[in-house]
């Protein structure tokens, strides 16, 4: 461990030490040696930092007819309780007139609501970010810049902003987490160099991963927008890219875009590192009703800190979510955790939707092999 990391980690976990040594005046009078004798117990203490990721936050035309400030209430506590929450914002904030598929433009209040639910980082590298052209992208990023309490990555206004958010380094309770977000492409071309959307370009991604390590990142998470829509299993190109990302230094890969949950794997690098790969989270909230599109994942990466030791990453926690449509559970859209609602069929306004949730849940688990 280099000196800078040691010093940073020392101060990041100092509160643990203070919590272990409540030195009263009486103990001080007994001498420093007695107080110091308590220090070895620090080696047995640890702390866990959690980072949660949710998939595509969408705003289809029908969603515009409803109050958006209830869409994520079913998972608000999960988002707020994590040390860091990250969401893929698959729409623009291009202003009125608002529109859904195929060219998304959502009200600014929607992004503010997602922020208020506890999301700290917005991902912007996706195929819809240029739906309203360069001006739509510029306005989206400007709104995010002015929004207190949130940061974004995946697109940048100029080289200065790109240096600050590609990678995006986020300090989290003594750790430095690097996020590298990029997309296979956009539905509408940019037409100019800036503002820039991060593309699936290996040379560009390699530079971002290198900068993450140079800037002292403890862990690097690659966040690709990739894959075949509606496919429950990843394709060969995703697998090749995941292996390349792992070899380049990514500690985890968490993908989006297919609008359904895809299978997961663990890549073993040539150096022996184990890198978890979650190929697709699916939709977090949307109006989609095609098979499997209403089931999604929340992925929580957990990092264990121990005083005087290097942090380590635990196995990811995977929680299946379900997006209920208006008239099914409530009179609005509501994303919920499946396991919280198993056995509560009587709570549904339309019980057949409960049956749909369970059958989709079992089918996707069977195909993907994911066990929550």
**160 and 13 fall within a common domain:** no
Asked if the model's pLDDT at residue 71 lies above 80, the reply is yes
Backbone angles phi, psi at 300, to 5 degrees: -115, 120
**27 and 69 fall within a common domain:** no
Token code pair at residue 262: 């895809």
Measured distance CA(113)–CA(133) in Å, rounded: 24
**14 and 68 fall within a common domain:** no
Per-residue pLDDT of 267-317, as tens digits, reads 999 999 999 999 999 999 999 999 999 999 999 999 998 877 789 999 999
Per-residue pLDDT of 170-207, as tens digits, reads 999 989 999 999 999 999 987 678 999 999 999 999 99
The residue with tokens 């496919």 is: 231
Of 221, 220, 297, nearest in space to 258 by CA: 297
**75 and 114 fall within a common domain:** yes
Domain boundary residue, one of 278, 300, 322: 322
The radius of gyration of the chain from alpha carbons, rounded to an integer in Å, stands at 22
Token code pair at residue 181: 């977000």
Predicted confidence band at 9 (pLDDT cuts at 50, 70, 90)?
very low
Query: Average pLDDT for residues 53-59, to the nearest whole number?
Result: 98
Which CATH number belongs to the domain containing residue 80 in this structure? 3.60.21.10
In a domain, 176, yes or no: yes
**213 and 71 fall within a common domain:** yes
Bridge-based pairing state of the strands 47-57 and 317-324? unpaired
Of 234, 168, 298, 218, nearest in space to 242 by CA: 234
Asked if residues 204 and 221 have their Cβ atoms less than 8 Å apart, the reply is no
**9 and 109 fall within a common domain:** no
Indicate the number of domains in the chain: 2
Asked if residues 125 and 198 have their Cβ atoms less than 8 Å apart, the reply is yes
Of 227, 231, 236, 226, nearest in space to 198 by CA: 226
**163 and 305 fall within a common domain:** yes
Which of 16-25, 28-37, 150-159, 361-370 bottoms out in mean pLDDT, i.e. has the lowest?
Answer: 28-37
Bridge-based pairing state of the strands 155-156 and 84-89? unpaired
**38 and 63 fall within a common domain:** no
Measured distance CA(124)–CA(157) in Å, rounded: 12
In a domain, 367, yes or no: no
Provide the residue range defining the domain that includes 297: 47-322
Using CA of residue 285, residue 291, residue 295, residue 297, what is the dihedral sign? Answer: negative
In a domain, 261, yes or no: yes
Own/partner pairs, 189-195, CB within 8 angstroms, 24+ separation: 189/130, 190/130, 190/134, 190/137, 191/133, 191/134, 192/134, 194/156, 194/157, 194/158, 194/159, 195/134, 195/137, 195/138, 195/141, 195/155, 195/156, 195/157, 195/158
Which ranges of 38-150 does DSSP label H, i.e. alpha helix? 76-81, 108-116, 133-146
Asked if the model's pLDDT at residue 28 lies above 50, the reply is no
Domain boundary residue, one of 322, 341, 367: 322
**12 and 127 fall within a common domain:** no
In a domain, 356, yes or no: no
In a domain, 297, yes or no: yes
**191 and 63 fall within a common domain:** yes
More confident site: 5 or 27: 5
Backbone angles phi, psi at 161, to 5 degrees: -65, -35
**27 and 161 fall within a common domain:** no
In a domain, 330, yes or no: no
In a domain, 197, yes or no: yes
Q: Which residues lie closer than 8 Å to 215 by C-beta, 6 or more apart?
A: 167, 169, 176, 178
* pTM for the whole structure: 0.88
What confidence score (pLDDT) does residue 45 get?
A: 53
In a domain, 267, yes or no: yes
**290 and 173 fall within a common domain:** yes
Measured distance CA(350)–CA(327) in Å, rounded: 7
């Amino acid at each position: 461990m280099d000196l800078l990391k040691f010093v940073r980690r020392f101060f990041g976990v100092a509160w643990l030490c203070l919590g272990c040594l409540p030195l009263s005046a009486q103990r001080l009078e007994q001498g420093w040696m007695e107080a110091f004798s308590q220090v070895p117990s620090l080696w047995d203490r640890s702390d866990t930092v959690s980072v949660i990721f949710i998939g595509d936050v969408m705003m289809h035309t029908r969603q515009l007819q409803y109050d958006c400030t209830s869409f994520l209430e079913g998972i608000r506590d999960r988002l707020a309780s994590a040390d860091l929450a990250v969401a893929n914002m698959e729409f623009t904030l291009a202003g009125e007139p608002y529109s859904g598929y195929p060219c998304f433009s959502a009200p600014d209040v929607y992004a503010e609501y997602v922020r208020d639910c506890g999301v700290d980082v917005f991902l912007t590298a996706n195929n819809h970010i240029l739906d309203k052209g360069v001006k739509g992208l510029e306005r989206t990023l400007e709104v995010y810049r002015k929004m207190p309490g949130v940061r974004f990555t995946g697109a940048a206004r100029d080289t200065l902003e790109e240096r600050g958010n590609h990678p995006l380094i986020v300090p989290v309770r003594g750790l430095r987490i690097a996020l590298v977000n990029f997309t296979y492409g956009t539905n509408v071309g940019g037409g100019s160099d800036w503002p820039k959307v991060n593309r699936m370009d290996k040379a560009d991604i390699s530079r971002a991963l290198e900068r993450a390590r140079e800037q002292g990142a403890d862990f690097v998470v690659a966040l690709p927008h990739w894959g075949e829509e509606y496919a429950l299993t990843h394709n060969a190109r995703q697998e090749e890219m995941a292996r390349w990302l792992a070899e380049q230094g990514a500690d985890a890969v968490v993908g989006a875009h297919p609008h359904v949950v895809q299978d997961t794997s663990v890549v073993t690098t040539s150096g022996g590192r184990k890198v978890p790969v979650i190929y697709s989270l699916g939709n977090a909230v949307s109006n989609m009703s095609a098979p499997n599109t209403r089931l999604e994942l929340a992925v929580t990466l957990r990092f264990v800190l121990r005083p005087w030791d290097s942090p380590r990453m635990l196995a990811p926690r995977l929680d299946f979510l379900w997006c209920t449509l208006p008239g099914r559970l409530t009179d609005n859209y509501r994303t919920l955790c499946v396991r919280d609602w198993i056995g509560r069929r009587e709570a549904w306004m339309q019980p057949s939707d409960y049956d749909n949730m369970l059958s989709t849940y079992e089918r996707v688990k069977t195909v993907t092999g994911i066990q929550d």
